Chain A
Amino acid sequence: MYMSVIEVSDLRKSYGGRTVVDGVSFAVEEGEIFGILGPNGAGKTTTVECVEGLRVPDGGRVRVTGLDPVADHDAVSRVLGAQLQQSELQPKLTVREALEMYAAFYPRPADWRPLAERLGLTDRLDARFGKLSGGQKQRLFIALALIGNPRVVVLDELTTGLDPRARRDTWQLIEDVRASGVTVLLVTHFMEEAQRLCDRIAVIDKGRIAALDTPAGLIHRSAGATVISFTPSAPLPEDALNALPALASVDHKEGRVTLAGTDETVNAVITLLARSHVTAHQLRVTDATLDDAFLDLTERTEAEGRPA
């Protein structure tokens, strides 16, 4: 029996001497939506391609439901559905034919009709792949990832090319898929998507895991988790601002002061304002977004100068 649905430990992969994945480890639990987030070229796609069995790792260990995606390719391909970042189908193949053919590949396929309906493809069943819009192609690939009734789906850049409405529908679909007990591994660069869908997120930067936490945890652990901004009625002494506790950054723009820090910083600012008899106009305190946390995390690894 296996412990986690997907286990990756100390995964390494390089191409022609260039290290792309440099010791990545994570485990995805049954029924979880696990996100992989990172800048372009961070090694996200290579990591999931090793999980899908499309690439042979140079080092480390990958297991999907306890099976090796390379050695047990047949068994893994029956439990794992994949949507690849870049792939196409035969241009003259119709949507219906593609669904029927892929359904025939699996021992216990899903009924493709409700799946097509769920993905809004019903009125395009007789359209050829080459005539579909980018969003329709994307939706077809999501359908093909789900058609084998997989236990795990790996979705790489799931909603790229979808309009905002279709993106929200797709998110709902992924939540429904998870509700039916399927484990989801999601590669994305949309923060909103990661924040909304993922139970946990691994931030990958330069082939390494920069952070692994829940979306809220990632935001909280970033240096500037809370943002305070206001327009002071009189200038505040710069050194007093800089001396604020847990301060991550100070910014002045057109008379407005923006501070990033923690709840502690907020309290100290309020005390400082009162003591200096300065009124804060339009005072706003907001939580940082996953966007801020992401930038902070990936910049931090940059500053530490880790080997590429």
Chain B
Amino acid sequence: MSTSAVVDKAVLRTEVRLFRREPGALFWILMFPALLLAILGSIPGFRHHEADLGGLRTIDVYVPVAVLLGPIVGGIQSMPQTLTGYRERGILRRMSTTPVRPATLLFAQMLVYGGAALASSLLALAVGRLAFGVRLPEQPLGYALALALTVLVVLALGAVISAVSRTTKIAGAIGSAVFFPAMFCAGVWAPVQTMPDLLARIVGWTPLGAAAEALNGAAAGHWPGWDHLGVLVAWTVLLTAGAARWFRWE
């Protein structure tokens, strides 16, 4: 029994259960990135070493993209809709009359989507390694740090989207509007390494661009650049402050 803690076991257990009842979210967050990787990897041309990619194979540069996909879908598309729905339906309000604060419900949501996003990333790494021999990150600690910051930044982004969206429909629309630029910056259409220099530099200032750069650096064995980590932290702080300021309980 806790009255002021932000984590409530009963609420978290419930939200985990409810997440498991959402086949759409389960598929798009957890399975889709790994599945996409498996499809791309089965194209023979994508398994050849390319001079353009510095001797890497296409599949090698797509693993980091797949790693970012789960966090993007979970944080930007799914979570804001759930959170906004909870407010719209008066679920947060009903909870405000109990000793457990409605903030615990938001926090449980973040834990669930953050956990799912991490699981999705790890699954993508595992599929890349096991099915296509893509090397695991050579700087595991730096990679873990970059991945953790990535998940935090997408959760903060999702929190801002639900804060400014009055209805689930609006949350869906804003989510989609943010989703495609985020995918672009993460390198879904053209991995960051293949972008022209100026574009790559601009993309590096965006949350997902910085995430891609930090993860790529760590994957290649370097400690992720402090500039990219700094960009991630700055976005997380900024977006969290915005979400806290704009969020309405009803």
Contact = CB atoms under 8 A, between A and B. Distances in A.
Contact of A88 (B11, B91, B98, B99): B91
A80 B98 CA distance: 8
Interface residues of B, number: 24
B99 A74 contact: yes
A65 B11 CA distance: 28
Nearest to B14: A101
Contact of B98 (A86, A93, A148): A148
Nearest to B93: A87
A102 B17 contact: no
A73 B211 CA distance: 41
Interface in B68-102: 86, 89-91, 93-94, 96-100
Contact of A105 (B17, B18, B98): B98
B90 A54 contact: no
Interface string B1-43: 1011000111101100110011000000000000000000000
A53 interface: yes
A28 to B, nearest CB: 17
A54 B1 CA distance: 22
Interface string A139-151: 0000010001000
B97 A54 contact: yes
A90 interface: yes
A6 to B, nearest CB: 15
A148 to B, nearest CB: 7
Interface in A105-146: 105-107, 144
Contacts of B11: 101
Given A87-B89, A89-B91, A107 B1 contact: yes
Most B-side CB within 10 Å, residue of A100, A105, A106: A105
B20 to A, nearest CB: 10
Interface string A160-188: 00000000000000000000000000000
A74 B94 contact: no
Nearest to A77: B99
A61 interface: no
A129 to B, nearest CB: 10
Interface in A205-250: none
B25 to A, nearest CB: 11
Contacts of A93: 14, 18
Interface of B: 1, 3-4, 8-11, 13-14, 17-18, 21-22, 86, 89-91, 93-94, 96-100
